[in-house]
Amino acid sequence: MNLTQGGPSGSPCFMRPSQGRPVHGRFSDSGILQRMPTVQHASRDLMTIRDLSRDEIDAMLDAAAAFRPLSDPAHRTRTDLAGATVVNLFFENSTRTRTSFEIAAKRLGATVINFDIATSSVSKGESLVDTIRTIEAMSPDAIVMRHSSTGAPAFVKRHTGAAVINAGDGAHEHPTQALLDVLTMRDRLGSMEGRCVAIIGDVRHSRVARSNVYCLQKLGARVKFVGPRAFVPETLRNFGVELQHDLRAGIADVDVIYLLRIQLERQAEPMFPSGTEYHRLYGLNECTLRFAPEHALVMHPGPVNRGVEINSGLMTHERCLIEEQVANGVAVRMAVLARAGRRSDG
Ligand code: CP
């Protein structure tokens, strides 16, 4: 695929050779946003990985890889989104996702507004729809949204002409997390075709697990869910994955050990006796890592509960890619924002 900084008419655009056409509106010389012809990318939004074809995933990963040189300060010159406004609307806490969307948008030349829920009228009881209508009246180009409720970004989309990007909705999906994860895996393993990934831990409550299993399966990988029955119930077989309740057996033949955070905030009551007990049975440390193949990579979406999912010593292991995941998060979010482009409704 190509990532071009300027389209034929001078408009910044995101293009794929198979489509060969810009995906959003363009500014005239006078700076007035003009409508593009009806030809559009399938969507400017990113709600779920399920919405994406394998070709679209590959295209976004290629675009992200092409954006990586912009992490070097000497190359931060893109203007793809100059004049555009991106609103970060996070109803749940975040370090990695919110920060990397902000950095990504700024590296593309956009203005970023970090909507502060605590000091907004949400804290006075304003409804989600009224909050969105208020933001929509200010014509943002993209809204990056995290919410504790499944489907909240899709609901918001009904009330805005901005592109809506799901930055995590309840236990449903976290699509940019999956894209940055598979980009990190692909860097080390080449194609994901035929590779095996064990997703370990609190799968039941995990939007990261859901987005990753969809993404990995579309790319031809085999996925296992590993964990105690409380976190890996039989119903999860519906994802077309193998279930394993023994950590050592679960990681014996994998290319990637993907550890999930224990999500205490989504558990109505504690589902295991203690962090120490969880680590004894399902935690990764120098001892349990020996049961995996020598090439197996270790990943975690963060934030990490040190000493629970993984011990501190392993976090600096040469096969532990947590910091590479974070770095790739910026590049992936640049690709997603470039795909979203500007609103074209004038
Ligand atoms: N992985 C992830 O979503 O981290 P944050 O909650 O810090 O954004």
Give the pLDDT confidence score for residue 3 in this predicted structure. Answer: 27
Ligand 1 mutation target, pool 96, 166, 259, 324, most atoms within 8 A of CB: 96
For residues 186 and 198, membership in a common domain is answered with yes
Number of domain units in the chain = 2
Residue partners of 205: CB distance under 8 A and separation at least 6: 171, 231, 263, 266, 267
For residues 280 and 304, membership in a common domain is answered with yes
Give the pLDDT confidence score for residue 123 in this predicted structure. Answer: 85
Give the pLDDT confidence score for residue 263 in this predicted structure. Answer: 74
Please give the distance, rounded to the nearest whole angstrom, from the Cα atom of residue 94 to the centre of ligand 1. 5
**Ligand 1, atom 6, residue with closest C-alpha:** 94
DSSP 304-339: --BTTTB-GGGGGSTTB-HHHHHHHHHHHHHHHHHH
pLDDT digit string, tens, across residues 297-318 = 999 999 999 999 999 999 999 9
Query: What percent of the chain has a predicted confidence (pLDDT) above 90?
Result: 75
Residue position matching structure tokens 């990579």 = 297
Please give the distance, rounded to the nearest whole angstrom, from the Cα atom of residue 336 to the centre of ligand 1. 17
pLDDT digit string, tens, across residues 235-262 = 999 999 999 999 999 999 999 999 999 8
Helix (H) or strand (E) holding 63: helix 54-67
Asked if the structure places residue 13 within a domain, the reply is no
Please give the distance, rounded to the nearest whole angstrom, from the Cα atom of residue 100 to the centre of ligand 1. 10
**Ligand 1, atom 5, residue with closest C-alpha:** 94
For residues 242 and 154, membership in a common domain is answered with no
CA geometry: angle 50, 175, 74, nearest 5 deg: 135
* Structural domain range at position 67: 26-174+328-340
For residues 170 and 279, membership in a common domain is answered with no
Give the pLDDT confidence score for residue 41 in this predicted structure. Answer: 52
For residues 33 and 166, membership in a common domain is answered with yes
For residues 223 and 305, membership in a common domain is answered with yes
Mean confidence (pLDDT) of the chain: 87
Spell out, as residue ranges, where the chain has pLDDT lower than 70: 1-42, 264-271, 345-346
Give the pLDDT confidence score for residue 71 in this predicted structure. Answer: 86
Give the pLDDT confidence score for residue 132 in this predicted structure. Answer: 96
Domain containing residue 295: CATH number:
3.40.50.1370
pLDDT digit string, tens, across residues 96-133 = 999 999 999 999 999 999 998 888 888 888 999 999 99
Residue 183 to residue 189: CA distance in whole angstroms: 10
For residues 137 and 184, membership in a common domain is answered with no
Residue position matching structure tokens 């409508």 = 35
Task: Specify whether the CB–CB gap between 36 and 25 falls below 8 A.
Answer: yes
Give the pLDDT confidence score for residue 34 in this predicted structure. Answer: 31
